[in-house]
Amino acid sequence: MNVFVTGGAGYIGSICTEELLNAGHQVTVFDNLTEGHRSAVDSRAKFIEGCLRDFALVKQSLRDAKADAIMHFAASALVGESMTDPKKYFHNNMVNALKLADAAVECGVKKFVFSSTCATYGPPDRVPMTEDLPQRPINPYGEAKLMFEKVLIWYREIYKLEFIAFRYFNAAGASEKFGEHHRIETHLIPNVLQVALGQKSHVEIYGTDYPTPDGTCIRDYIHIKDLAQAHILGLQPGKSGFFNLGNGDGYSVKQVIEMCEKITGKKIPAIEKPRRAGDPPKLVAAANKAFNELGWKPQYPKLEDIVATAWAWHKKNPTGYVD
């Protein structure tokens, strides 16, 4: 299958590109490199540097790629920033996504796989979280993703554009070649590992008074290669709708730090700080729908395996990508 991957120079997109190629698909990566890295793009993929705002370029690129499917990862993804610069998030995550969907319809693309988020739910009514929970996002990042989910429903209804939207929980880990290197790093595991590498003096824990066993927030971590396999399964004809992706097991901030200490053999100092506004105590996925309908089964469900692969990549690439 010819797959057109937007944001394929980013963390998730780069490893999904690698796994698509390993599975025998042909891949064209489309990325403007504002957040991604050129050296994170698998050399087997065709690369186009461009922006989704350029509708003519997007259409021509889709036609040149003879795209059967689109995997759309390109987005702004800093929740805190979305609260101070909502315009950026509605333009990048909604308006540009809409242009891509329009181009898909015009170019006869058959399948659209969308990188959504558990942030579309907002604070959950219950945990584990199922796909039928009310969606009440509490930031522009989640709101923009939800808006585009609704676009996809209508485009399927009216234009027959088959879609799958994956609502991620916390992607983590690495492949042997590619890993996590954000210019602004907000994710817990890479920040903890930077302390183990000697690049930071300590890690910060935001809130130790949550109603959880050790007082810190609990999150569901999913290995990036398991995430990629779900996307490949989502290419199957006839598979459509919304799917949570997580392991169904939650780990607290303190448990993640302890696991990083175990894997790295390093002591990781932590400084406790007040809670951040809007952080729910516990976010854990119920991914039974993906298990049952897509045949998805995580191969790396243990936090130990997730951290071990991340550490191996960071040790090999202590400063991340060169570009």
Any domain includes 280: yes
Model pLDDT, residue 178: 98
Q: How far apart are CA 311 and CA 292, in angstroms?
A: 32
162 and 241 co-located in one domain: yes
Q: Which residues have a catalytic role annotated? A: 141
Candidates 5, 4, 15, 2; CA nearest to 179 is 15
CATH number of the domain enclosing 98? 3.40.50.720
128 and 209 co-located in one domain: no
151 and 20 co-located in one domain: yes
Any domain includes 180: no
Average pLDDT over residues 3-9: 99
112 and 211 co-located in one domain: no
8 Å CB contact between 135 and 120: yes
60 and 13 co-located in one domain: yes
Candidates 225, 229, 177, 199; CA nearest to 40 is 177
Any domain includes 182: no
142 and 199 co-located in one domain: no
Average pLDDT over residues 50-68: 98
143 and 207 co-located in one domain: no
294 and 167 co-located in one domain: no
Domain count, the chain: 2
Q: Is the pLDDT of residue 230 over 90?
A: yes
86 and 198 co-located in one domain: no
Q: Is the pLDDT of residue 160 over 90?
A: yes
Q: Is the pLDDT of residue 279 over 90?
A: no
**Tokens 């879609």 -> residue:** 163
The band of 276, judged by pLDDT with boundaries at 50, 70 and 90, is confident
- DSSP H or E run through 82: helix 79-84
Q: Which domain holds residue 89?
A: 2-172+222-245
160 and 214 co-located in one domain: no
Model pLDDT, residue 181: 97
Model pLDDT, residue 277: 81
CATH number of the domain enclosing 300? 3.90.25.10
117 and 239 co-located in one domain: yes
229 and 308 co-located in one domain: no
